[in-house]
Structure 1
Amino acid sequence: MTSVLPRFLRAATAGCVALLAASCSPSQRGTYGPSPADVGPRTSLAPASWSAQSPAGEIATWMREGCRRPEGSRAACVERALTGLIDPAGIAKSMEVLDTLVATDEEVRRNAHALAHGLGISAYRSPETAAATFAGCTPSQMSGCYHGVIQGYFLAQVAQGQEIGTPQIDALCEPHRASMFLFFQCAHGMGHGVMALHENHVPMALEACDLATDDFIRGSCYGGVFMENIVNVTHPHHTAEGHAGTQGQHAAAGADPHAGHQAQAADAHAGHQAGSADAHAGHGAAQQAGMNHGEWKALDRNDFQYPCNAVAEKYRTSCYTMQTSAVLYFTQGNLGAAARACGEAPLEHRHTCFSSLGRDITAYAAQNHQRSLEFCGLARGLAEGMGEVWCVAGVAVNFVNLAADPGEGIRFCGLVRDERGKTECYRSVGQTIASLENTTSGRAAHCERAEPAFVITCRRGAGIQPAGTDD
């Protein structure tokens, strides 16, 4: 497995119209999809005046008006209306409408990744159409749609009592191997899926990732597990509508890992509170001899290194890639506290933790470059002076990932004044470019946009020899 796993690699092109038609047409509607008939009565939306060919803005306006005074939760109204678009309009158009709402509605913007995730779950129909549905998603909203489709696959298998083993895991992402971007998103989404398979029990989900024979799939799957572990605590109903649509009449069978969590404690899964006192017990030896399969506690408000310190060493880098999101949840967004938690992480994982902080900072700074740079100043002096440097690099990488555009990261690096920080910034952007671009000439072209003194730094990060070679 490479040392730098692609995260959100590049903007995917629109899926083939024929594939979308196969996965989203009424003739392909299956047990696990929502019915458009469910939308109107449940949301009090006016009769639809749009067609599948209507502009996304027109559909978004209809939805915005209809959910202004909903029967019940406005968020649920928006989610139900969005999922109701899938069959008549396709998953790509549904995502386009979500993107349009995000641009004008703060509440939708705050929940955009979760909504995209739920759309992906609801769009899943069957193993036979999974690849086409997945390809029909778009990379916007942090690629939540992709992750949801894969999670929908696992939820359906659970509901149907199907076994998941190495053959199924190896085959699931194979149709997307030709695209580095789609292949990663599928493997990462698998981590979300195996969490559903194992009722959010992290050690068991990680071991399910290990069933994959491909190193890249395993590593990407680990990241999905840890992301789902945090999201399941911080936003326990983030895909409630999607799960209901996905599982249909099987919902009562216990397949929904979010069901019954209304009363769950902030730092434990429902029903696991009794095991919290010994949640760490036995994990010292478990790092070499397998992990605890008993009670599992998702997060710990009193231990900001948990669960990273409770899983085997080979999983810890993936854990720390997400860890600051958990810290910020428990500290109500205290960036300084998150920085200090990273400073207390094991030496070999501090770089990853501070990079995680940089990713989260972009959200707290509303994706403002200068403000993100200032927030990283909270890590100054930590980790022997490297905390701020690694944070800055994490910000730059996330700007590339958010826009699927290396130029965003390069522009951010141009604001950095500290030479050490600027060097790490451009090196990290170069590494991300290597994930986005398969060709040497393409990588070189992106790096040429860097400040002249740092073009070589970017090229080295992208894996290009200083002199450069064409393909």
Structure 2
Amino acid sequence: MTSVLPRLLRAATAGCVGLFAASCSPSLRGTHGPSPADVGPRTSLAPASWSAQSPAGKIATWMREGCRRPEGSRAACVERALTGLIDPAGIAKSMEVLDTLVTTDEEVRRNAHALAHGLGISAYRSPETAAATFAGCTPSQMSGCYHGVIQGYFLAQVAQGKQIGTPQIDALCEPHRASMFLFFQCAHGMGHGVMALHENHVPMALETCDLATDHFIRGSCYGGVFMENIVNVTHPHHTAEGHAGTQAHGQHAADAHAGHQSQPVDAPAGHQAGSADAHAAHQAGAAGAHAGHGAGQHAGMNHGEWKALDRNDFQYPCNAVAEKYRTSCYTMQTSAVLYFTQGSLGAAARACGEAPPEYRETCFSSLGRDITAYAAQNHQRSLEFCRLARGLAEGMGEVWCVAGVAVNFVNLAADPGEGIRFCGLVRDERGKTECYRSVGQTIASLDNTPSGRATHCERAEPAFVTVCRQGAGIQPAGTDD
């Protein structure tokens, strides 16, 4: 698992019909779901004419019509309605309806990852059922549902005043160890969750990640912490606390990372930046602080007041945490830079060029992830935006950016085909090689079998099949696997 963790981190990086009509029997609701009274009146939805077995398209149409002119926020209406599907229809059907809405509703598409987080949080019921609920999620919308379930676990622990230690940390993701993809999503979601334990105090959250005995869990958890650090100050409505407000029950802050429309100020002429529905356009803002933990130092980090971000230092907070955390920090750093520069992809590229040499590849890969959002997931635009990194980092900036784009395309829907199709557009041989190698490494995180990895890599251009296989950790074609 160690070999694929850096790529996984760069990708990362966001779950009863009787609630609307009296036609079904309500099942047991969890602590984190809305009550019937919270859902119906606030969404202004018509009585349901479907059942839990109805096609997702039929439910989505009913929801879209009902939230066209809501009482209050339309986004809140959609979130409440989606959450109300969990008990009668299950988390998988709720996600299927969300995926259907994404295809026809621009606002839902922009916020799809955050909505998936909210569904996961609301689907959580208890430690005993957490593994089954988590497994019921789907990888669409950047796996936000998975992350939300894990957040729900931590939110519940906070609400109940329970302590989290190594036994709890080690046990939480153990049921998913057989699947590298699920194991990572669980551990990454843990990073978002532990921020709730420490009121978004990054050093303390990172040290809670360190309670895990498994190094893979620790590294994945770090990435979730830094992602949450960026989101929670500027988009509180996309955090677990924001979802709690939407769903009318008190919860502590954790996370969700929807995309946000923005226009890169130095994008190539003629290109409008699209909406981001991935981790990419996380805009992080002004300094948050957390006091009351004492002034001591631990592992070189401050346990006193913590400033989330610094508009005058584009290497912060990566340069303020212990070295072992910095790679994970740089997986998200360009999102903070893009916020402070009003979407300047060029400024973000230059900031990566100024990062310490050992973290530049990670930073440029982070830029590639963000670029997919600014390019509205358009392959050609993403490739063109990466040209802003040309000439930086001794000529490797653009190459690493392209690799980051490819990895994110794979992870958007856990589909290697998207990354392979993007690599096919790359003209520079060095960039194409790194693109296919990175896709191969990401394939390794999605498929545990050599035969499955080989099948995916066979879709690459013939001259680069071997590169993809090498990235995926399998032997060249024609040799024994």
Q: TM-score, normalised by structure 2?
A: 0.85
User: Are the counterparts in 1 of residues 203 and 303 from structure 2 also a CA contact under 8 Å?
Assistant: yes
137-146 vs 61-70, which moves further: 61-70
Matches within 5 A, 1:212-231: 212-231=212-231
Post-superposition offset of 1:290? 3.6
- Does the CA-based 8 Å contact 2:141-2:413 persist in structure 1? no
In 2, the alpha carbon distance for the partners of 1:271 and 1:112 equals 13
Deviations 1:33-88, CA, capped at 9 Å, x for gaps = 22234211112111222211111111111111111111111111111111111112
Using a 3 Å threshold, how does the CA distance of structure 1 residues 258 and 100 change in structure 2: closer, same or farther?
farther
CA gap of 1:200–1:220, structure 2 versus 1, over 3 A, is same
* Aligned mates of 2:399, 2:281 — CA distance in 1: 41
Q: How far off is 1:18 after superposition? A: 20
Aligned 8 A contact 2:15 2:145 in 1: no
- Partner of 1:336: helix, strand, or coil? helix
How far residue 245 of structure 1 moved from its aligned partner, in angstroms, is 7.5
Deviation at 1:151, TM superposition (A): 0.4
1:130 deviates by 0.9
The question of whether the paired residues in 2 share the 8 Å contact of 1:38 and 1:84 is answered with: no
Aligned 8 A contact 1:9 1:435 in 2: no
- Tell whether the 8 Å contact from 2:233 to 2:285 is kept in structure 1 after alignment: no
Residue 7 of structure 1 and its aligned partner are, at CA, apart by 6.1
Question: Which residue of structure 1 lines up, in the alignment, with residue 270 of structure 2?
Answer: 260
Whether contact under 8 Å (1:8, 1:142) holds in the other structure is: no
Contact 2:192 2:225 in 1 (8 A): yes
Instruction: Name the stretch that deviates more: 281-290 or 458-467.
Output: 281-290
Residues 226 and 322, structure 1, Cα contact 8 Å, conserved in 2: yes
Contact 1:275–1:295 (Cα < 8 Å) also in 2:
no
How far apart are 1:129 and its partner, in Å?
A: 1.1
Question: Size of the alignment, in residue pairs?
Answer: 469
In 2, are the aligned partners of 1:173 and 1:186 still within 8 Å (CA)? yes
The answer to whether the 8 Å contact 1:11/1:139 transfers is no
Give yes or no for contact 1:202–1:225 (8 Å, CA) kept in 2. yes
1:405-463 Cα shifts (integer Å, max 9, x gaps): 22221221111111111111111111112222222222222222222222222222122
Two-structure CA RMSD over aligned residues (Å):
7.3
Q: CA deviation at 1:246?
A: 11
Contact persistence 1:150–1:190 (CA under 8 A): yes
Query: 2:298: which partner in 1?
Result: 288
How far does the alpha carbon of each residue in 1:108-145 deviate from its partner, in whole angstroms, 9 at most, with x for none? 11111111101111111111111111111111110111
CA distance in 1, matches of 2:189, 2:268: 17
Pairwise CA distance, 1:279: 8.5
Contact persistence 1:191–1:205 (CA under 8 A): yes
More helix by share: 1
Taking structure 1 as the reference length, the TM-score comes to 0.87
Given that 2:15 and 2:86 are in contact with CA atoms closer than 8 Å, whether structure 1 keeps it comes out as no
Whether the 8 Å CA contact 1:173–1:187 is kept in 2: the answer is yes
- Higher mean alpha-carbon deviation, 30-39 vs 322-331, is at 30-39
Unmatched segments (≥5 aa) in structure 1: none
Q: Which segments of 5 or more consecutive residues in structure 2 lack a partner in the other structure?
A: 255-264
1:321-340 aligned at under 5 Å gives the runs 321-340=331-350
Deviates more, 1:233-242 or 1:223-232: 233-242
Cα distance change on mapping 1:17 and 1:443 into 2, 3 Å? farther
Which one is further off, 228-237 or 192-201? 228-237
Question: How far 1:14 sits from its partner (Å)?
Answer: 18
Q: 1:342 to 1:273 in 2, by over 3 A?
A: closer
Q: Give distance in 1, aligned partners of 2:270 and 2:244.
A: 13
Equivalent residue of 1:456, what SS? helix
- CA deviation map 1:3-35 (0-9, x unaligned): 431766999999999999999994442333222
Greater Cα shift, 62-71 or 240-249: 240-249
What SS does structure 2 have at the residue aligned with 1:162?
A: coil
After superposition, the Cα gap between the structure-2 partners of 1:69 and 1:18, relative to the gap in structure 1 and judged at 3 Å, is: closer
2:87 maps to which residue?
87
Shift of 1:320: 0.5
Cα 1:265–1:465 change in 2 (3 A) is closer
Q: Distance in 1 between matches of 2:385 and 2:319?
A: 27
Equivalent pair of 2:114/2:238 in contact (CA under 8 Å): yes
The alpha-carbon distance between structure 1 residues 193 and 393, as it changes in their structure 2 partners (threshold 3 A), is same
The answer to whether the Cα contact below 8 Å between 1:23 and 1:133 also exists between their aligned partners in 2 is no
Distance change >3 Å, CA 242–CA 36, structure 1 → 2:
farther
